[in-house]
Every structure is written in structure tokens, then in C-alpha cells.
Structure 1
């Protein structure tokens, strides 16, 4: 009876370790995808701001 309890606890511990590893990997993957996407968006916005629009009609206020 004692060994069944120990074995059950060991199986539960291994299951939680595997589950934690999988969830941790998915969380890190999503985090890195978000970071790379944010950098890409900021880079594209910066490039667009620096390059400017060539065909925009500017308003002459003076």
C-alpha cells in the first residue's frame, strides 16, 4: 500500500513536470513572437516616418 502511494505521487510529480515544461515552452515562444513582432512594427513605423510620403500634398500655411 505504501509503495502504491509513493508511485502515485511520483507519477503525479512527473506529469506536473511535463505539463509545466510544455506550458513554459509555449509561453516563451509566444513571448518571443510578440517581441519580434513589436520590433518589426516599430521598425516599419520608424522607416515610414523617416522616409516620408512622396505624393502628399502639403498645406502651405504662410
Structure 2
């Protein structure tokens, strides 16, 4: 998921440099959403892995 986040972030930066502000804003928003989804999955995996090690 982080690869997709970085891909959309690079697309947003390149689009912003060339003046495509609408595309840049859309790509940045997608990157932000994917990053937040990644964070949620990461926290869930940390919590569930800590429960498995107790056994």
C-alpha cells in the first residue's frame, strides 16, 4: 500500500510542477486516503500480533 501512496504522491508532485492543479489535488487526496488506510491496517496488525504472542 505504501508503494501506491508514493506513486500517487509522485504523480501529484509532477502534475503540480506542470500546472495541472486539479490532477495534482486529486492524486494528493488519493495518496492521503491510501496512507490513512495503511495506517489503520498497520495498527490492527500490531494489535493482533501482540495478542498472538501472549500464548
Q: Which band: TM-score by shorter chain?
A: 0.5 to 0.7
Using structure 1 for the length normalisation, give the TM-score.
0.56
Higher RCO (C-alpha 8 Å, min separation 6): 2
Q: What is the distance in 2 between the residues matched to 1:18 and 1:32?
A: 21
Give unpaired runs (5+ residues) of structure 1: 39-62
Q: 1:8 — aligned with what?
A: 26
Q: How many residues align?
A: 37
TM-superposed CA distance for 1:24, in Å, is 0.3
TM-superposed CA distance for 1:2, in Å, is 1.1
* Higher share in helix: 2
Give unpaired runs (5+ residues) of structure 2: 1-18
Q: What is the distance in 2 between the residues matched to 1:33 and 1:4?
A: 44
